[in-house]
Every structure is written in C-alpha cells, then in structure tokens.
Amino acid sequence: MTASAPVVRPEGGAGQDPLPRRAVAALRAGIRNGQALRWTGAVGAVIPALALAFVLVVLVIKGWPAFRIDGWSFFSSKAWSQGNQYALKPEIKNGYELPPGAAYGALPLIVGTLATSLIALIIAVPVSVGTALAIVERLPRRLAYAVGLFLEVLAGMPSVIIGLFGAVTLGPIVAHDIAPYVARNVPDVPVLSYFAGKTGSGYGLLTSGLVLSLMVIPIIAATTRDLVRQVPILPREGALALGMSDAQTARRVTLPWVGAGIVGSVVLGLGRALGETIAVAMVCGASFGSFPSNLYDTMITAAAAIVLTLEAALTDATGYALSVLAEIGLVLMVITLLTNIGARLLVRRVSSTALPVGAGI
Amino acid sequence: MTTPASGSQTISETGSSLMAPLFALWGPAYHSQFSQVTLSTASSSSGVGISSAAAGTTNIGASDAYLSPADMAKYTTLENIPLAVAALMVVYNLPSVPASTNLKLNGTVLAKIYSGKITKWNDPAITALNPGVTLPSASIVLVHRADSSGSTFLFTSYMNAQDPTDWSSSLIGTTVAWPKQPGEIGATGSGGIVSSVKTTPDSISYVGVSYLSKVTAAKEGEAAVGNASGSFVLPNTATIDAALSAFTSTPANEAISLINGSGAQAYPIINYEYAIVNTSQSSTTLAQDLQAFLYWAVTSGTTQLASVNFQPLPASVVTLSEAQIAKISG
C-alpha cells in the first residue's frame, strides 16, 4: 500500500455503534468518572474572567480615540457638547476626527455618581441596620416574616418601577413638601448652604439619592438581618444579665460582632448605587456639563449619561461621541473596582480585631 | 411603485416623537387600504430614527432634522425624504397669565433666556415685547430635550438665526451643550416636554405642533414667535404656508433648513418631516413595499395631516420626494 492510498475509515459500519450512540456512551462514561464535571467546572471558571477581559478590551479599543483626543483633561473637564453635527468638515485632533466644537469632560459625571451614592448610603445604612435589628430582636415572628418578605420583594423589584415611582410620586413630594421646608429652615452656615436655595422641580440630586436608597436598603437590610441572626445568644444574654438595655446590647455586642459583614453588605449596596442606570436617568433631570448648585438641583451620573446619550452618540458620524461613552464606561468600571478593593481592605481591618464585644465598656 | 407587492409585509418605523402621532394615524389608514402591509411604529427621537436607519434596524427612520453632511458622507445609501411640513411651538407654564394671552417671544429673547442672560419672567426684555401683560418676578425654569431630538435642532437653529451672538452656531444640533441654569430639566420625548412643563410652574420649552392638543389640555401657554420681519405669529395653515413660500429652491437631496423664512406672516420655525430610508434594501419586494408606502404618504396620506397640524408638501417638493423614493431598490 502506497502512502497516497486513501485510508478507509469505518463510519458506523458493522461491528461498531453509530456515532450518536458512541457520543452518548462517551458522555455517560465521562459523567461517571467525573471528567465531564471537571471540564464544565473549568469552562465555568474561565468564562467570567474571559467576559470581564472581553468587556475591558472592547471598552479600551472603543474609548481609545476619545482618550487620544482629550488626554487626561477628560477627567478634570466639565465640558459636554456634541459639537456642530451639521458642519461641512470634521475637525482633526491628534489624528482623530471630531465634530467642530465637540468637547466632553467626565468630572460632573464622576461627582454626580459619587454624590448620589453617598446620599443613598447616608439614608440607607441606619435604616437598614435598624430594620435588621427590629426583624431579629423586636418584631413578633409573623410580622418579622412579613417585613422580611417585603424586603426581598423590594430587592427583586425592577429598577424601572422604582424610577417610575421616583419620577411620578417621590419627585413631586420632594419638590412641594420636603425641599421647600428644608431650604426655608436651614441656618445660614457655610456647609449647610448646600441645603438652601432654589428647590427645583423634583428632578435632581436629592430625588436620585432617595430613589437609590430605596434600592440599597433591601440589600443591606437583608444581609445584616442574616448576620445578626448568627450572633450567638450567649454573649447577648450575658449583656442583658449585666443589666444592659436592649439598645446597649445591640450597640456593644450584636453590631460589633457582625461589623465586618455589615461593611461588606454596605459595599454590595454601594455597587448597586454606583451602577444604577435607568431609575436615576428617570429622576436626575439630565443636566450635563456642570455640578449641581445645591441638593435639589438637576444633575447627571455616569451610568445615566451613557443611557441618555447613546442614541445621540450614534448619530455622530465621526464616532467621537461613542468613543467618549466607552471611556465613561471604563471610568465607571474603575470606580466600582476601586470601591471593591477599598471595601476588601476595610473588611480585613474591621475583622482583624477579633470579637470586639464589649469594647469601651 | 404605487402599489405594494401582494405578499404580507411589515414595515418598521421608529424615530421623531414629533412625527409619531402622524405615523400612528398613517399605520391603520394604510393597512385598511392595503391589508397585506402592516406598519409597526415607535415613538423615540429623531436621533434614534437616523441611527436606526443607518444601522439597518428599522425600515423607516423618522426625523425632524435632515441628515448632516458627515452622516451623508458616512452612510452613502441613506436618503432623507420629506413627507410633510411641521412647525415647532414655544410653550410655557405661567399660572398667572391666561392661556388666551399668547406671550410674544423672539429668537433674541429666547437665546438670552436659554443662555442665562435673562433669568426672570419680568425681565425688561420680555415685558417690552408684551405691553399690558403682567408677568411674575419668578425665575424661568428651562425645560429642554435630554435625548437626541429634531425639535432641539429646530429650536436651536431658530435662536441662532435670530441671535448669532447669544446663540452661536456650535450650539445648533439634535443634542447641544445647554448653558447650565439652576433647576433646568432635560425631558425625554415630546410627551416628556409636555408633562414636564405641565408639572413645573414658570417653565418654558419647545414642542412640535403635533402636540398642540396635549399642550392645550395641559393648560400650557403657546407663545407668538417673532419672525424675520419682526411680527409675532402663531403656527397655523396661513403662517406656515407663508413661511414655505419663502423657500423656493429645495435641493435635490432635500436637506434644507426652513428656519426664519422671510415674509410678514411667516412662522419662523418650520421644517420638513423626513423619512430616513436606505436606498439599497435587502429584497425587491421590501423595496417595492417601501416605495409604495412612501409614495402613498406624500399623496393620499396627506388627508391625515390636518389632525396633527402638519401641512402637505408643496407640489415641487412632492416631485423631488418622488424622485428620491424612486431610487429605493432591492
């Protein structure tokens, strides 16, 4: 037989099972000896990493022209202009085309994102911890169950519904009842001047923060509830036996016991607040290119900016606007990443002080 | 090209919320005449209309703004076909001023208002235009579109045409850098403009004439707008026609601004409502069905225009539109 002679392979011939049956048999054997599980596990472990890398690479590639055009000043600029779309010729800067007059800066978006999330946490943390303690220690079993159920429903609520509630109900309440009352009654002190001034229309920083707090509360409260449940009964009974009140027990024993966990849950909530898009887009007032002048002024966040300007960006024939949005997406990812790293460091610090129960008594 | 193919076909449309009420009327009317064709229409914004037509995700992109030279250069097979003539209203919410009083505002005052040089309703520049009207001392709340909007393009074009110093040409577009004003509101869609103005006392904004009935129902005021010859006019058949007659030479690609036309009674903010269509379609039947619908829109479809306060195209422009429709092929 010469080397060039065709090699005849039996294809499901006599004496051999047809291909599908062989495949099934191989699969069965794989499942039995654990091969299949090992492979699924390996693929499952790699996919999230690949997805993250893919997103990063795409954002960097798409955002590169914008970075070449604006450089680092993108992060310190307040500008927001799509430029003259009807100009006859695009401008050329550092080798990339852009519409004449187009300029973008991320600083107001970063400030807006951090400010709304901060407001959300200031409201959500005390409320959530209080709710968790009440559910575990105070409320009758049935009521506690009902409140817990409400929390879980609220956590699973699509954010667009909360945005709708914010735009239709909460916004007007803020505009007509809360904001004018607060603005009238704040003392004339430098820092508090941020609470005074024009109370606006209900769209803006405060409403966005309140809407975000509604989304963050169930996350922090549900996690804290589960943590508080795991605090052993003995230290708490001991505190009571020492004559501590319920409040003192909570403050001196229960909360220190779960401190690291609460920090973790707050970071989970913060992650949600930083990236929340549609609800904020519905109530922020979509004011680009500036910082809010007070607590009630309209503003914009990074995530809301992307969703509100994507369609406009797609009409920019030079592609500059779209590139800017990719860059903003990257900024948002970096903010979230930094928060997570910061949180991990914080959790490590908090949890390294083992069992701080009774500190300061 | 006047009748659709016999097979069943769905033609998709998205874009301009100003034009959406018209497509909502056209869809059922066309379907009752040619039952094999169904129109699926969506109200978004002119920017979405243009970008969806460019991306090929919709058959007809509706836009109040024509394609920019850059878009035309980038998407060589896209064309903008005028289907009707529309106008843009300037609306406001001033509870103390009766709705029967149409405040007089011109491009200079509006440019100063939107650039923050005029901040109060009783500013001397506004009271000078409106003798006998008592205006409140309240701050003006600016409402503008947050999405990529043809209305914004028309409104900013008008301010620039009348006052290029206070409103520079770099501030013309479907999305512009609005100079920051305290409390300003970015609203989504024409409907969003009407509801934001309704719920915000002392606000001012702009919205297409197809929303006139909603503006009236919301008890909002409609401004008489200053034109190039200095008179103040409301948009109606006579004033829009007067403005149209000032523009006699629409180019073959029909990309033309109809802002600030001359004539004593000309309404200064009018425009062609465009269908943005790709001339190279995926199949000959789809091309035929698109041609038939667009041809119907500029001929028989004009009976629906009055309900949304639009006007039919002048005969010479219908001819140009038909020439562009004829270019669509499969």
Query: How many angstroms away from the CA of A330 is the closest CA of chain B?
Result: 22
B158 or A264, higher pLDDT: B158
Give residue A169's identity as a one-letter amino acid code.
Answer: T
State whether B182 and A293 contact (CB < 8 Å): yes
Sheet holding B104-105, edge to edge: B104-105, B224-226, B232-233
* Nearest chain A residue to B66, by CA: A86
Q: Is A93 helix (H, G, I), strand (E, B) or coil?
A: strand
- pLDDT at residue A17, as a whole number: 66
What is the pLDDT confidence band of residue A211, given thresholds at 50, 70 and 90?
Answer: very high
Q: Choose among A84, A286, A289: nearest Cβ to B146.
A: A286
What is the pLDDT confidence band of residue A12, given thresholds at 50, 70 and 90?
Answer: very low
- pLDDT at residue A9, as a whole number: 53
Q: What pLDDT digit, counting tens, does each position of B48-98 carry? A: 899 889 888 899 999 999 998 888 988 999 999 999 999 999 999 999 998
State whether A311 and B51 contact (CB < 8 Å): yes
Q: Answer whether residue A345 is part of any domain.
A: yes
Q: Answer whether residue A52 is part of any domain.
A: no
Instruction: Tell me: pLDDT of A186 over 50.
Output: yes
Contact status of A74 with chain B (Cβ, < 8 Å):
no
Residue A19 has a CB neighbour count (10 Å cut-off) of: 10
Contact status of A339 with chain B (Cβ, < 8 Å):
no
The residue whose two tokens read 């003392």 is A187
Q: Which residues of A touch B175 (CB under 8 A)?
A: 82, 309, 312
Burial track A174-187 (b if 16+ CB lie within 10 A, e otherwise):
bbeebbeebbeebe
State whether B175 and A197 contact (CB < 8 Å): no
How large is the average pLDDT for residues A291-296? Answer: 89
* Nearest chain B residue to A305, by CA: B146
Main-chain phi, psi angles of A8, to 5 degrees:
-90, 120
Contact B269, B259 (CB under 8 A): yes
State whether B186 and A286 contact (CB < 8 Å): yes
CA–CA gap between residue B172 and residue A297 (Å, rounded): 25
Instruction: Tell me: pLDDT of A5 over 70.
Output: no
What is the pLDDT confidence band of residue A202, given thresholds at 50, 70 and 90?
Answer: confident
Whole-Å CA distances, B182 to A65, A249, A256, A287, B144: 33, 47, 44, 10, 13
Contact map slice: B 73-112 vs A, CB within 8 A: 73-75
Q: A31-40, B14-23, B129-138: which range is least confident on average?
A: A31-40
Chain A with chain B: Cβ pairs closer than 8 A: 117
Query: How many angstroms away from the CA of B8 is the closest CA of chain A?
Result: 31
* Nearest chain A residue to B54, by CA: A315
- pLDDT at residue A101, as a whole number: 81
* Nearest chain A residue to B168, by CA: A84
Whole-Å CA distances, A266 to A201, A231, B98: 30, 19, 52
State whether B174 and A312 contact (CB < 8 Å): yes
What is the pLDDT confidence band of residue A64, given thresholds at 50, 70 and 90?
Answer: very high
Q: Answer whether residue A206 is part of any domain.
A: yes
Query: How many angstroms away from the CA of B124 is the closest CA of chain A?
Result: 22
- pLDDT at residue A1, as a whole number: 42
Mean pLDDT of all residues belonging to chain B: 92
DSSP secondary structure of B253-291: T-----BT--STT--SBEEEEEEEEESB-SSHHHHHHHH
Instruction: Tell me: pLDDT of A32 over 50.
Output: yes
State whether B71 and A315 contact (CB < 8 Å): yes
Spatial CA neighbour of A119 closest among A216, A202, A260, A198: A216
Q: Answer whether residue A11 is part of any domain.
A: no
Q: Answer whether residue A151 is part of any domain.
A: yes
H/E element, B232: strand B232-233
Contact status of A290 with chain B (Cβ, < 8 Å):
yes
Q: Is A149 helix (H, G, I), strand (E, B) or coil?
A: helix
Q: Answer whether residue A64 is part of any domain.
A: no
Instruction: Tell me: pLDDT of B293 over 90.
Output: yes
Q: What pLDDT digit, counting tens, does each position of B184-202 carry? A: 888 888 998 999 999 889 9
Give residue B222's identity as a one-letter amino acid code.
Answer: E
Q: Answer whether residue A297 is part of any domain.
A: yes
Query: How many angstroms away from the CA of B317 is the closest CA of chain A?
Result: 22
Those residues with Cβ within 8 angstroms of residue B78's Cβ, 6 or more apart along the chain or in another chain? B53, B54, B67, B71, B72, B276, B277, B278, B279
State whether A309 and B178 contact (CB < 8 Å): no
The residue whose two tokens read 């058959």 is B59
H/E element, B84: strand B78-93
To test the contact with chain A by mutation, choose from B148, B151, B203, B274 the residue with the greatest count of A C-beta atoms within 10 A, namely B148
Q: Which residues of A touch B187 (CB under 8 A)?
A: 286
Contact status of B184 with chain A (Cβ, < 8 Å):
yes
Main-chain phi, psi angles of B91, to 5 degrees:
-120, 160
State whether B185 and A293 contact (CB < 8 Å): no
Identify the domain containing residue A193 by its residue range.
104-352
Would you say the C-alpha torsion A68, B149, B63, B231 has a positive or negative sign? Answer: negative
Instruction: Tell me: pLDDT of A119 over 90.
Output: yes
How large is the average pLDDT for residues A257-264? Answer: 87
What is the pLDDT confidence band of residue A103, given thresholds at 50, 70 and 90?
Answer: confident
Q: How far is CA A328 from the centre of its chain?
A: 15
Q: Choose among A86, A203, A297: nearest Cβ to B182.
A: A297
Q: What pLDDT digit, counting tens, does each position of A323-332 carry? A: 999 999 999 9
Q: Which CATH number goes with the domain that contains A271? A: 1.10.3720.10
* Nearest chain A residue to B185, by CA: A285
Query: How many angstroms away from the CA of B303 is the closest CA of chain A?
Result: 32
Q: Answer whether residue A122 is part of any domain.
A: yes
Q: Which residues of A touch B204 (CB under 8 A)?
A: none
- pLDDT at residue A117, as a whole number: 96
Residue B134 has a CB neighbour count (10 Å cut-off) of: 10
Contact map slice: A 93-152 vs B, CB within 8 A: 99-101, 103
Q: What is the number of domains present in chain A?
A: 1
Instruction: Tell me: pLDDT of A4 over 70.
Output: no
What is the pLDDT confidence band of residue A13, given thresholds at 50, 70 and 90?
Answer: very low
Contact A65, A323 (CB under 8 A): yes
How large is the average pLDDT for residues B285-300? Answer: 95
Q: Choose among B148, B180, B187: nearest Cβ to A315.
A: B148
Contact status of B177 with chain A (Cβ, < 8 Å):
yes
Whole-Å CA distances, B209 to A293, A327, B86, B185, B212: 34, 38, 7, 21, 5
Q: Choose among A83, A290, A314: nearest Cβ to B170.
A: A83
How large is the average pLDDT for residues A69-83? Answer: 88
Mean pLDDT of all residues belonging to chain A: 86
The segment with the largest mean pLDDT, out of A5-9, A39-43, B187-191, B276-280, is B276-280
Contact status of A61 with chain B (Cβ, < 8 Å):
no
- pLDDT at residue A7, as a whole number: 52
Contact status of B48 with chain A (Cβ, < 8 Å):
yes
To test the contact with chain B by mutation, choose from A280, A283, A287 the residue with the greatest count of B C-beta atoms within 10 A, namely A287
- pLDDT at residue A110, as a whole number: 95
CA–CA gap between residue B322 and residue B243 (Å, rounded): 23
Contact status of A67 with chain B (Cβ, < 8 Å):
no
Q: Which residues of B touch A100 (CB under 8 A)?
A: 170
Q: What pLDDT digit, counting tens, does each position of B223-254 carry? A: 999 999 999 999 999 999 999 999 988 999 99
Find the radius of gyration of the CA atoms of chain B.
20
To test the contact with chain B by mutation, choose from A80, A98, A201, A288 the residue with the greatest count of B C-beta atoms within 10 A, namely A201
Find the radius of gyration of the CA atoms of chain A.
28
Contact map slice: A 204-223 vs B, CB within 8 A: 204
